[in-house]
Amino acid sequence: MGLLTEVSWSPYAVGIAIGVLSWLSFLILKKPLSCSTSFASTSGMIERLFRGKKVEQKPYYQRIGLKIDWQWMLVLGITIGSLISALLSGDFALKWVPALWLLAFGDTPLLRLVVATVGGIFMGFGARWADGCTSGHGISGTLQLAVSSWISDFLLHRRYPDGAAHFQSDWIGGG
Amino acid sequence: MSRKRITAKENNLSPLAWGLAFGIVFGFLLQKGGVTKYDVILGQLLLTDFTVLKIILSAVVTGMLGIYLMKSLGWVKLQPKSGSVGMNVIGGLIFGVGFAVLGYCPGTIAGAIGNGFLDALVGGVIGIWIGAGLFAAMYPKLRNGILTIGDYGDVTVPRLLKVNDWFVVIPAATLIIIVLYWLERAGL
């Protein structure tokens, strides 16, 4: 039980275990680990609630299918697994604003929620455009040496230093 | 007849159950790694905390060696994604902007919710749904246009270079291990 109640593990141990999980996913599900498509199918399912069956006719939803599949369950499982881990270690806490954000912008939830929503819109749009995210391209595609994923990685990871440097100088004041 | 139906039903159920089980393990690991937290992800983007890179590179090197070994043994088939310059370059850049602003990615945001971060649930997830919905609305105009520019299909680096897989796997794995070693040596 000692290991499971620790707040954090070595990043190398975590990474190696995720690598082993990717072997099992290929062996058992015959699929690479990936997450972002299920956000698109959920978005389509929510839209279907309001606008009815015609939403299913959209070409993109025809392509990905509006149903609860293994990947949807994987994402649900991530929330449950993270909750179990955080509860076991006492690391669970309900927070509107992350600590680093609080230092830069204060503790008003509204500003953080607006910015998180805007960031989410870019991310949801970009993940569909590139057909993958940090899991599908960043881990699963990279480990298969897929050209599509290596190019996506290079660009989305290239963005960080620039984007983060701006973020730092503009918002956190070079801190 | 009824027997057949039951088997079919079980076959449908099992990917969902496996997906859930893998997700629980994945989420547990992400939380233990600290990447369900905005501060850790932003720390990577600001180059002050290299946890994210260490986890991704360890996962890639472990995954790559195992998957290519199992491929050599005929146990698994690769499933590389198709892509194009128009898809991966532009999409990667848009995603990167979202990543820096949101501070979670689609996998870790699910973990952030489990960790108690309400900005992930109320802000981020709704944003990702809106972004994905916008893309679905624009898709008919994009799919035969910009997304096809510079198409290279589902090629992998070894196939592109027309060499044996291991001529790429071994140098790539070595390079990743050197980077990880260097990160540790540099105290990052």
Q: What is the ipTM of this complex?
A: 0.92
pLDDT digits (tens, 9 = 90+) for A93-104: 999 999 999 999
Q: How many CB atoms lie within 10 A of CB B143?
A: 13
The two structure tokens encoding residue A115: 């910015």
Residues of chain B with pLDDT under 50: 1-8
Contact B132/A at CB under 8 A: yes
Q: Which one-letter amino acid corresponds to residue B59?
A: A
- Let me know: does B36 contact B115? Beta carbons within 8 Å: yes
Q: Which one-letter amino acid corresponds to residue B9?
A: K
- Classify residue A165 as exposed, middle or buried by CB count within 10 Å of its CB (0-12, 13-18, 19+): middle
- Mutation pick from A9, A14, A154 vs chain B, by most beta carbons of B within 10 Å, is A14
pLDDT digits (tens, 9 = 90+) for B113-156: 999 999 999 999 999 999 999 999 999 999 999 999 999 999 99
Torsional class of B150: left (φ above 0), alpha (ψ -120 to 50), beta (otherwise):
left
Q: Which of residues 50-79 of B touch A (CB under 8 A)?
A: 51, 54-64, 66-67, 70, 75-79
Contacts B67 to A, Cβ<8 Å = 22-23, 26, 143-144
**A52 Cα to chain B: minimum distance (Å):** 15
Distances (CA, A) of A10 to A13, B29, B51, B58, B110: 5, 10, 9, 11, 21
Cβ distance of B58 and A11 shorter than 8 Å: yes
**pTM for this entry:** 0.91
- Mutation pick from A70, A111, A121 vs chain B, by most beta carbons of B within 10 Å, is A121
